[in-house]
Amino acid sequence: MTSAQPAIRVHGVSHQFGQAGEARHVQALLDTSLEVARGELQCLIGPSGCGKSTLLGIMGGLIAPTTGTVTVSGKPVRGPMPRDLAFVFQESALFPWNTVFENIVLGMTFQGVAKAERRDRARRALEAVGLLDFAEHYPGQLSGGMRQRAALARALSLQTDILLMDEPFGALDEQTRMVLGEDLSVLLSRSKKTIVFVTHSLGEAVFLADRVAVFSARPGTVKQIITVDEPHPRKPSFMTAPKFHALRDQLYGLLHDEIRKAISETAQPRRRYDQAGAAEADGDRA
């Protein structure tokens, strides 16, 4: 978009879980490079197991890649960078023993926000997602959509430049997804955040993204990048526009073969955000 420094720069990243020759060895990513421009919403889309969640973890400093480098806001990534990026996960990562409000305050406590500021920021973040009335509820008392809104509020309250979202609406029903997608678009137009959004849904990718990076089947690498030239906030009417359908068809064409390839694979590694990755499959509780 602009010629300014990209928000995130991924260069030559490959990642494997386990050692070559072991039963559990998986080459998740192979020589992946991409850039996320400041202020854009970039979607990562690809078949199951293509490593897009792994790449998100690598971008966020949760996983150290086997090879390659990542820079965020010009700084090399060596570990979690809570001041620069905030995550929203698919399964609500809210602490069930805290209220929604306490969850958000706790996130800021971890990040190191001054105590005096926390409550105000929490309130504003809840307002931004429309959950202020439910601040004293526990996550278990909320619907899936509301929980994800709360998770988004927590990420917003951290006031990072970048948001990394891993299929945040994946566990929700179609209608809730549409509404939340529209809200996200509105939010994006108001703030100047950079968002990386992993998704399975073609329609969601086209609706939300400024650019879509299409991944190949495992071992994942960027196959092609598609630009969606439509300003935010995007209206629901965009979904019926011919441009939308054309882009969606284009995506489908790119993905179709990759999806077939992925389905024929028998081993599906579980989603992992930490160093050990697929090696830690035993003894874990979902």
Partner 1 sequence: MNPSGRGIATGRIWSRLVQIAFLAAVLVLWSLATTVWGVSRILLPNPVNVWHQLIDVVSSGAFIPDLRVTLGELAAAFAISMSLGVSLGYLISRSRYLIRVFEPLLAAIYSIPIILFLPLYVLLLGLGPDSKIALGATISFFPIVLSTIAGFGYVDRTLVTAARSMGASNLQMFRHVLVPAALPVVLAGLRMGFTVALLSVIASETIASFAGLGHHIVDLAENMDTARMFAYIVFVIAIVAFLNAVVSTLEGRARWR
Partner 2 sequence: MAVARTDAPRLAVPAAAGLRDRLLRHPGIARLGVVILLFIGWEIAARFFLDRDFISPPSIVLMSLGDLFGTPGVPSALWLTLYEIAIAFVLSVIIGAAVGLAVGLNRFAHQSFMPIVLLLYGIPQITILPIFVLVFGIGAASKIAFGVSHGMFPIMIAVAAGVQKIEQVLFVSARSMGASRWQLLRYVIFPHAIPSFFTGMRLGMSGVLLGVLLAELYVSTAGIGYFTSIFTENFDPTKLIGLVSMLAVIAIALNEIVRRAELHYARWRD
- 7 φ, ψ to 5°? -70, -45
Between CA 212 and CA 141 the distance in angstroms is 35
Give the list of residues 6+ apart from residue 11 with CB closer than 8 angstroms, or none. Answer: 33, 68, 69, 70, 71
Among 24, 31, 71, 273, binds partner 2 (CB under 8 A): 31
Q: Is 65 in the site for partner 2 (CB under 8 A)?
A: yes
Among 12, 76, 80, 130, binds partner 1 (CB under 8 A): 80
Closest CA to 89 of 273, 282, 276: 273
**Kind of pairing, strands 162-166 and 85-88?**
parallel
144-157 and 115-129 are packed helices; what angle lies between their axes, rounded to 10 degrees? 140
Give the list of residues 6+ apart from residue 135 with CB closer than 8 angstroms, or none. Answer: 99, 100, 101, 122, 123, 126
Give the list of residues 6+ apart from residue 253 with CB closer than 8 angstroms, or none. Answer: none
68 binds, among partner 1, partner 2, none (CB under 5 to 8 A by kind): partner 2
Q: Which residues pair with 42 in a beta bridge?
A: 196, 211
How many residues touch partner 1 under the rule CB under 8 A: the total is 28
Among 6, 14, 101, 228, binds partner 2 (CB under 8 A): 14
109 binds, among partner 1, partner 2, none (CB under 5 to 8 A by kind): partner 1
27 binds, among partner 1, partner 2, none (CB under 5 to 8 A by kind): partner 2
Tokens describing residue 152: 């988004």
Q: Is 132 in the site for partner 2 (CB under 8 A)?
A: no
Closest CA to 150 of 125, 184, 169: 125
Residues 89-128 that bind partner 2 (CB under 8 A): none
For residues 267 and 276, which CB has a smaller minimum distance to partner 1 in the complex? 276
Min CB(106)–partner 1 separation in Å: 6
Q: Is 216 in the site for partner 2 (CB under 8 A)?
A: no
For residues 64 and 263, which CB has a smaller minimum distance to partner 2 in the complex? 64
Q: Is 274 in the site for partner 1 (CB under 8 A)?
A: yes
Residue 229 near residue 182 (C-beta atoms within 8 A): no
Q: Is 27 in the site for partner 2 (CB under 8 A)?
A: yes
Contact region for partner 2 (CB under 8 A) — 27-35, 108-116, 178-186, 239-247? 27-35
Q: Is 83 in the site for partner 1 (CB under 8 A)?
A: yes
Min CB(213)–partner 2 separation in Å: 20
Q: Is 219 in the site for partner 2 (CB under 8 A)?
A: yes
Q: Is 66 in the site for partner 2 (CB under 8 A)?
A: yes
Q: Is 64 in the site for partner 1 (CB under 8 A)?
A: no
For residues 104 and 180, which CB has a smaller minimum distance to partner 1 in the complex? 104
Binding residues (CB under 8 A) for partner 1: these are 60, 62, 80, 82-83, 85-87, 89, 91, 93, 95, 97-98, 106-107, 109-112, 158, 273-274, 280, 282-285
